[in-house]
Chain A
Amino acid sequence: MTVTLAPPAPVRTGRASLDDLHARARAARRMVIDMAASPTGCHLGGSLSVLDILIAALDRANAGDGTEVVLSKGHAAAGLYAALHVSGILAEDPVPRYGAADGHFTGHPGAAVPGVRFPTGSLGHGVPYALGWALGRRMAGRGGLAIAVAGDGELQEGLIWESCQVAAAQKVGNLVLVVDRNGGQNDGAVDAISPLPRLADRFATFGFDTLEVDGHDLAALRDALAPARDGADRPLAVIARTVKGKGVRPVEGKPSAHYVTIDAARAAVWKELVR
């Protein structure tokens, strides 16, 4: 395979303690706030809702068994960069060059960033990328999960369900699709635009195993992603209930937090609020 921009190899540092994961999540939230205070601003609400999922998923990848994490909701790039950095995979602090002309930290992630194998941003594509990766690992007799992280609004893309259909038909049990169920999308609430009732049942009907967890409970997320699933013949969907803007009280649950640009003074106040 030829990759347009070959990134440096990501670093795998091994698994962390639960306390370390909590510390990483707090540090990453502060970095995301700093990126919201960059000249470009960032997708703050979705970056904060997905952050604990990413912290747990990247810790799973740090096991070094070939597990790959694909952020399909690529607009949460700020969250991904921060999570990669605090997880020890991305050496460079992404904050100073987020959105800048002299760096690769674009508003949707590209494969020039260490730890980002698949570029994403146009919604829906990350899930079939992960599906192909999972299938390839299985065919090669090698372990590891392919963890695709999608938004609930993203599930409105037909490509997602094409991929779920194929994943179940091909019995790709090492594919894990984590849904960041924050209930929001660009123009408002998912329920008001194109609701997703009985979401776990939908995945079950497609032939997935399903789990529903608190998407901000790092212990629960870690447990959900722990099994190797080498012998599984049904892919797994994890519905992670989350809050948009989680961890920063002034924006928690607010649709207006979808994309935010703030100044340095406000960023300093918000970082103090991170729990």
Chain B
Amino acid sequence: MIEALIKSFVAAARSLGFNFSFLASAYERGMWLDGIRTTLELAAVTIPASLAAGLVLVLALRSPWYWLAGPSRAFIELTRSTPTLVQLDCAFLALNMLVSAALGGAEHNPLTPFFWCVLVIALHIGAFHAEALRAGVEAVPEPTREAARALGFGRAQVLWRIELPIAFRVALPALVNNLVNLIKLTAIGSAIAVGDITYASIMIWTQHDNVVELMLFILLLFGALNFIVSRAGRWLEARVRIPGHGV
């Protein structure tokens, strides 16, 4: 049934001039579907990881301890001013090699390309999240902070219960923008053979010479993912809005 449907789709696409013949081969179809699944997994894992990284970084940035605030600021500056692909190579080709050597060979190394891809992208986008949140914290009006102090909130409580909730609302558009960039960034996983949709498509189009067809699909997939994320962001913005607060 499904095979027949695929056959008729391939034939229909061919009559329009598109070459989707790879769908007829179970192996290549499987690889392609795996690629779609891997891209979705990458996005699903990296989004919360990046938000966690951003939160940790902004907490470190706002901490009164210089030895915590200094390194996190340095990390943010470094990661924002260097190419993500180079960071990925530093992590996967250099750091992973050292880990393998320390564990006595690559076969003992449990860290996968998928792991490194998530780590690098989450930290990279996390730095941008932290900057957005920091700007949000700095936008909290001084009287609000003073009022909280007057009510007996401690420093950490002011940060956690007053500043960050307001900062989150202020930073939300920027955070969503970062998440859209995150989704687009997952394509660089193909450089270290994570097996995402871009990687699977490269494998298929080198066999079938159907770059345009697969490219259109990739663009549609990323367009749809970005659309979902930005819609979800707008929904959340409306949801968490504090009436009368102006943000």
Binding between chains A and B: no
**B interface residues, Cβ below 8 angstroms from A:** none
